[in-house]
Structure 1
Amino acid sequence: MNALKTLFAGAVLSALSSAVFAAGNPLSVHVLNLQDGLPSAGVNVTLEKQDGEHWSKLNTGTTNEQGRITALYPEGKALEKGTYRVTFKTGEWFKNHQAATFFPEVPVIFAADGSVPHYHIPLLLSPYGFSTYRGN
């Protein structure tokens, strides 16, 4: 019973520390593999901002053991209104897990209008399909 309490307390502290860390950054992402229901650790992700007809790279990151990047926006910068693209390098991830996929990458383009202080982009992923939405 004590081991269960310790495990639960550790999970709660981990979740809280992720939430506190993310609170200072306006953008986070989360990748879950629908095939096995587990977080997708090790997914490379790129963040870009649209500038006219071009995209400017702002940051990159790799999902942690929980499948999360809690702070994808460049540290110390305020989120500017505009159109952004988060690209999940899913082909690399599936190749590293010896699995085929139809999608070599998943770009998610969204408009940050400043109506919320934090944007969260979850990606539910399988080899031949994906889904995303504006999370919180």
Structure 2
Amino acid sequence: MTGYLTTHVLDTARGCPAEGIKISLFRLEGDARSLVAETVTNDDGRTNSPILPAERFATGTYELVFHCGDYLRATGQAGADPLFLDAVPIRFGMSEAESHYHVPLLLSPYGYSTYRGS
């Protein structure tokens, strides 16, 4: 088995999955930041497939950017512009070539958290 990366977004303010959030994945090498993948969450707040599947997996430093502004506006949670949270970046490292990494976002209009899930 080779490693892979998954993610999902839960709206903790509303107590439900966050559908329709664009997610960008970047690989970081020194000062270089290169786009690896983009996807959108489905009705379960998940992506339809791993954002970084086994055949493209490589260890290293990555950044997931969750583009939450449109979702918060659509659900009436945005508040005034500029939004407190619009794009949420999560930078993390993956050092185990044979592991499943899961990096979720728990989102509310004024805060978020993450963890290494399973």
Once the two structures are superposed, what CA deviation does each residue of 1:53-88 show, in whole Å capped at 9, x if it has no partner?
A: 0210000000011000141015732x2111000000
In the superposition, the TM-score normalised over structure 1's length comes to: 0.75
Structure-2 separation of matches of 1:122 and 1:65:
15
Q: 1:24 to 1:40 in 2, by over 3 A?
A: farther
Cα drift, residue 36 of structure 1: 1.3
Aligned CA distance change for structure 1 residues 115 and 25 (closer, same or farther; 3 Å): closer
Choose which of 74, 89, 102 in structure 2 pairs with 1:96: 74
Where structure 1 has 5 or more consecutive residues not aligned to the other structure, the ranges are 1-22
Partners of 1:25 and 1:90 lie apart in 2 by: 27
- The answer as to whether partners of 2:24 and 2:64 remain within 8 angstroms in 1 is yes
Q: Which residue of 2 aligns with 1:16?
A: none
From 48, 51, 57, the equivalent of 1:72 is: 51
Give the structure with the larger helix fraction: 1
Higher relative contact order (CA 8 A, sep 6+): 2
Check the 8 A contact 2:3/2:96 in 1, yes or no: no
Unaligned runs of 5+ in 2: none
Post-superposition CA distance 1:26-66 (Å, at most 9, x none): 11111110111100010100000002202100000000110
Q: CA RMSD in A?
A: 2.0
TM-score (norm 2): 0.86
Identical-residue share of aligned pairs (%): 36
Q: Would you say the 8 A contact 1:123–1:131 is kept in 2?
A: yes
Looking at structure 1, the residues matched to 2 and 108 of structure 2 have their Cα atoms a distance apart, in angstroms, of 31
